[in-house]
Amino acid sequence: MLLLISPLSLAVEVKDLHVVEIPVADQTRKSRVEAYRTALAEVLLRYSGRGDVMFNPNTLAAMSEAHSFVKSYRYRKLDLQQAQEKGLEGEQLVLWVEMYPRSIKRLLRDNGLPIWGQVRPGMLSWVVLEQGGSRELLGAASSHPGLDIIRQQAAFRGQPLQFPLLDLVDKAAVNVSDVWGGFGDAVRQASLRYGDDVVFYGRIYSSGDHRWNADWSLILKEREWKWKIEGRDLASVIRPGIDLAVDAIAGSFAQTTVNTAANHTLVKVWNIQSLGDYAAVLRYLQKQVSVSEVIADTITQDSIVFRIRNEGDWQSVNKAISLGYRLYPFQPDESDTGEGAPSAVIHYRYLP
């Protein structure tokens, strides 16, 4: 019953966006330098959320200095299962690379490219795959290889992802025909219980002669995108579909702060009942991409006014804050704000 009244997941904080593993043939310097370049391209892709990030001449030029972005590295050998989880065949030597997040953000900011924060909207994926004359709706417990390809590509792009449980509640709300027919209203309604901000759904089928087709749809709030993709195998129709979806999601949430003056914003957060609440709110505000400084300005019994130094307009910061489902904008009664309180204060209520 709890599943009917409360969502299973909300926005997700994606950690280690600056850490990647690159397959290498050996431990020679030549292989390592090439892996550094591949690693930098992947990290820039994750941080910007833009599939065309490497078309920028300046980010492309940075490839020759990829080593300067590397904080640490080490080699490790993947066993068969570990390699399979990453879409690799056989045991594989990989180079684990950790890069400097601040340097990555500076490169993007200096070139007018967006930066996508760590707190990202969850994406729920409904996919029907037709093969051998039968259709299967892929769920969290499915074993079809197409599921692994979707997971791997979403992880590659730094996009939180989950699949439906396909339990009795799901089956009562949506069926294979709904997803196959592209009935967005039915899919949207069935997705409400999961609490994700984004719904990604589609159908994959073979047209013969080793050709595959996919029809993808993405629902984000009141907007919906649709794409048709053709390819020679499953991966060639799934990976571009995920890429297009993530590009659209990042385009809605990533922030560009180039050539913008720093602003100071007063934010009052209510319902702070303990030191732990204060620490949680402080950390959350500090993680926002455009926020460079957060100072506790005024502390009362159940609220704190923070003085925040942010680059660009507060509207962009507010959009990112709203993803965490912890700070909710609201307008308190005048009797609660107190006499002489600054009128420019932005109010949020904290929900632990």
What's the CA gap between 13 and 121, in Å, rounded?
Answer: 9
- Beta pairing, strands 134-138 & 92-99: unpaired
What's the average model confidence in pLDDT over 82-110? 92
CATH code for residues 2-13+118-253 = 3.30.160.100
CA–CA distance, 157 with 116 (Å, rounded to integer): 11
Q: With 90 as the cut, is the pLDDT of residue 139 above it?
A: yes
User: Residue 97: its pLDDT value, please?
Assistant: 98
Q: 177-197 pLDDT, tens per residue?
A: 999 999 999 999 999 999 888
Instruction: Please state the pTM of the whole predicted model.
Output: 0.82
Quote the pLDDT of residue 319.
Answer: 81
Q: What pLDDT does 95 receive? A: 97
Distance from C-alpha of 176 to C-alpha of 79, rounded to nearest angstrom: 36
Average of per-residue pLDDT across 204-222: 91
Residue type, 49: G
Domain ranges of the chain: 2-13+118-253, 19-110, 262-350
**Nearest to 83, CA basis, from 143, 21, 32:** 21
Helices 101-110 & 29-48 angle (0-180, nearest 10): 60
Q: What share of the chain has pLDDT > 70, as a percent?
A: 92
Residue 69, both tokens? 């972005």
How many Cα neighbours within 13 Å face the side chain of 197?
22
pLDDT in tens, 35-89: 999 999 999 999 999 999 999 999 999 999 999 999 999 999 999 888 888 888 8
Q: Which fold has domain 262-350?
A: Alpha-Beta Plaits (3.30.70)
* Confidence at residue 129, expressed as pLDDT on a 0 to 100 scale: 96
Which of the pair, 84 or 266, is modelled with greater confidence?
A: 266
Q: CA-to-CA distance for 247 and 23, rounded, in angstroms? A: 25
Q: What's the pLDDT band for 250 if we cut at 50, 70, 90?
A: very high
Q: Can you tell me the distance from the alpha carbon of 73 to that of 39, in angstroms, rounded to the nearest whole number?
A: 11
> Distances in Å between the alpha carbon of 79 and those of 20, 39, 151?
17, 21, 19
Average pLDDT of span 156-163: 96
Q: In the prediction, which pLDDT does 262 show? A: 65
**Residues in Cβ contact with 243 at an 8 Å cutoff, skipping those fewer than 6 apart:** 51, 153, 157
**Phi–psi pair at 45, nearest 5 degrees:** -65, -45
- Average pLDDT on 289-301 reads 87
